[in-house]
C-alpha cells in the first residue's frame, strides 16, 4: 500500500480575535487529499481521504480591537480561549476538535482549570 498527498494551505483571519503580528497569520488551514493505493489486491484500488487541520498561532490576552486585558491570570486566560475559539470558528472548526495544545508558559501558571473547562 502506498499513499500520496496533495495539500491546499489557506491563511485564516477573523476580526473576532486580535490581528496577527507582523507577517504572521492567526491560523493556517491545511486541507489534504490523501490517495491510498492498495496494490495487494489483484486489481489496483484507490481510495481518497480528505484530512483537515488548523494550526493556530500562539495567542495573547488581547481583545479583538488590540487592547491588552488587565486583571487576573484567569481573566487573561479567558480572553486567550475566546480568541482561540473565534479563530477556530472562522476556520469551520472548534475547541471540541482540538488534537494537541502546546504552550509551556500556559502550564507554568497552573491553569489546568481552563483545560478542564474548555476541553471537557
| Structural domain boundaries, residue 24 | 2-119
Q: Looking at residue 31, what is its pLDDT?
A: 81
Q: Looking at residue 67, what is its pLDDT?
A: 96
Which pairs from 56-63 meet CB under 8 Å and 24+ separation? 56/26, 56/27, 56/84, 56/87, 56/88, 57/20, 57/24, 57/25, 57/26, 57/27, 58/103, 59/17, 59/18, 59/83, 59/84, 59/87, 60/18, 62/18, 63/18
Q: Looking at residue 36, what is its pLDDT?
A: 67
**Per-residue pLDDT in tens (0 to 9) along the chain, 120 residues:** 445 555 788 899 999 999 998 888 999 888 877 666 665 655 556 677 777 888 898 888 999 999 999 998 888 888 988 999 999 999 988 888 877 766 555 444 445 555 556 655
Q: Looking at residue 22, what is its pLDDT?
A: 86
| CATH code at position 52 | 3.30.1330.40
The number of domains in the chain is 1
Amino acid at each position: 500500500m502506498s499513499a500520496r498527498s496533495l495539500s491546499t494551505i489557506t491563511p485564516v483571519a477573523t476580526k473576532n480575535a486580535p490581528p496577527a503580528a507582523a507577517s504572521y497569520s492567526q491560523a493556517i488551514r491545511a486541507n489534504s487529499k490523501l490517495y491510498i493505493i492498495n496494490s495487494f489486491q489483484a486489481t489496483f484500488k484507490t481510495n481518497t481521504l480528505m484530512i483537515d487541520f488548523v494550526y493556530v498561532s500562539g495567542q495573547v490576552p488581547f481583545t479583538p480591537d488590540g487592547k491588552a486585558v488587565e486583571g487576573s491570570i484567569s481573566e487573561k486566560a479567558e480572553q486567550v480561549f475566546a480568541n482561540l475559539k473565534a479563530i477556530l470558528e472562522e476556520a469551520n472548526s472548534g475547541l471540541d476538535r482540538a488534537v494537541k495544545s502546546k504552550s509551556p508558559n500556559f502550564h507554568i501558571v497552573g491553569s489546568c482549570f481552563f483545560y478542564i473547562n474548555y476541553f471537557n
